[in-house]
Structure 1
């Protein structure tokens, strides 16, 4: 496994990894809440993410947050870029890279896209530049690495927009969609209606519905409900919290209302879901991130 790490004097952290089948992907707990790009290079990779098995084609890039849990099977090889907020904050630099709410900090369970064959050389060149600059030790190294990461993020953002129909919208409309996704991610436990999110955006609920109808099969309300359900499943899978505690955590004061909501979304009760996944987790194996 190839691995190169940059650490700056102000806790800046950037890591490049190149892994082969059987290598593990893990987080450096020293650096809280890293963001991760995984560039899957192999032809026959499969992942399990939030309980769902997904086939991954060659030259797919996955965008993950530190709380995402992912398992690889049949992984041929992959390249990984991890960085923390101190190295490059995508929220502070959103005007530059425009990835908030789509690549990171959005409602999409697993943002990903495939690099078109005619664009692969751009990513290969940028990766080589990263590797070369990792060897530098002068005062400009941090700035150079940040510039290359910024370029990488911009390339990813452009391709994601094309492959997810966002180019059907103008820039202002895309920004509304991104901001809605970001607001849901930040507030889904306490803000539950489309009307409330529309108010935060100074838009009407109808405007939001019209925008999402152009680029998504899901309505704004379905997106809100999906995000609450994702969080509920994470609590059920990975914590010992009671169903009552989980219901309260995601904004339900009534356990019966939560159970009804969960069963409508997943076609299984929360208790049955927890009992089913406990056995799955206990016997699971593979490469994790």
Structure 2
């Protein structure tokens, strides 16, 4: 079942799907969707995000954005998903942590997963039922009500993410630096390949960033940049007809050899070998 809200003036869109894998085709008219996925089943759901297998256990939530490619195996249990575009939620000046560039969407973690436990399950289920009722209520303030409820869902998910994934290792200001760094990498990875370039934008030293990332994540700031470049390289190899040279140029490399070297370092495969192997798997 799909419940939708569409705002004609701004082209805003917000949807609640009870079986995202089979119903997401109904969202094709809307680009750049941001999603919160929730396994409300008693069994795990297997999915692939950017060609990496993931398991979402019962009462776990994760997120995905328009930058990621999701796929599902046939016969998987239904996945509950909230999907919205920037016109619906992000044009409002929300607090940074719960904005569209917040912790759970663009930032601290590759594939964020949070687990609902104890009374949190009941709280989220109650919120889910209110969403259903509000989607069915057609009046002049429906959009505003749904936006307020979506913000509540994002706030609750963000709090759990910080508790479960970051704990007490970082304070709020440090979390914000990590988030901002990841957002900046998402924006500038095609033109800025060095940590010092991002450190300058954040008014921090590269050493400060390295020490901060070491507190919660085994990845270094440079690894974040390299993995983001490699991820875009994989997407273009899989979903476009561009040559390796063209992809290298698009990602800011003056020669294909430098891209080739970075891609192999991150993925373990050359660009051409990666493209061939994924096509063989899909055949």
Q: What TM-score results when the alignment is normalised by the length of structure 1?
A: 0.90
Partner-residue secondary structure (3-state), 1:280: helix
Runs of 4 or more above 6 Å deviation? none
Q: 1:32: which partner in 2?
A: 31
The structural deviation recorded for 1:158 is 0.8
Structure 2 unaligned residues grouped into runs of 5+:
none
- For 1:1-20, list aligned pairs within 5 A: 2-10=1-9, 11-19=11-19
The structural deviation recorded for 1:27 is 5.9
Q: What TM-score results when the alignment is normalised by the length of structure 2?
A: 0.92
- Cα distance change on mapping 1:91 and 1:176 into 2, 3 Å: farther
The structural deviation recorded for 1:24 is 4.6
Q: What is the alpha-carbon distance in structure 1 between the residues aligned to residue 64 and residue 156 of structure 2?
A: 16
Q: What is the alpha-carbon distance in structure 1 between the residues aligned to residue 197 and residue 168 of structure 2?
A: 26
Q: What is the alpha-carbon distance in structure 2 between the residues aligned to residue 153 and residue 26 of structure 1?
A: 24
Is residue 2:72 matched to residue 1:58? Answer: no
Q: What is the alpha-carbon distance in structure 1 between the residues aligned to residue 93 and residue 222 of structure 2?
A: 28
- Alpha-carbon deviations, 1:116-172, whole Å to 9, x = none? 233111111111111111121222211111110000000111111122215421121
Does the Cα contact within 8 Å between 2:108 and 2:178 map onto a contact in 1?
no
Q: 1:230: which partner in 2?
A: 231
Q: 2:249: which partner in 1?
A: 248
Of 218-227 and 74-83, deviating more is 74-83
Does the Cα contact within 8 Å between 1:27 and 1:66 map onto a contact in 2?
no
- Cα distance change on mapping 1:146 and 1:95 into 2, 3 Å: same
- Alpha-carbon deviations, 1:59-92, whole Å to 9, x = none? 1212111242222235222211111111100784
Q: 1:72: which partner in 2?
A: 72
Q: 2:172: which partner in 1?
A: 171
Does the Cα contact within 8 Å between 2:199 and 2:209 map onto a contact in 1?
yes
Q: What is the alpha-carbon distance in structure 2 between the residues aligned to residue 142 and residue 54 of structure 1?
A: 33
Structure 1 unaligned residues grouped into runs of 5+:
284-289
Q: 1:150: which partner in 2?
A: 151
Instruction: Provide the aligned C-alpha RMSD in A.
Output: 2.0
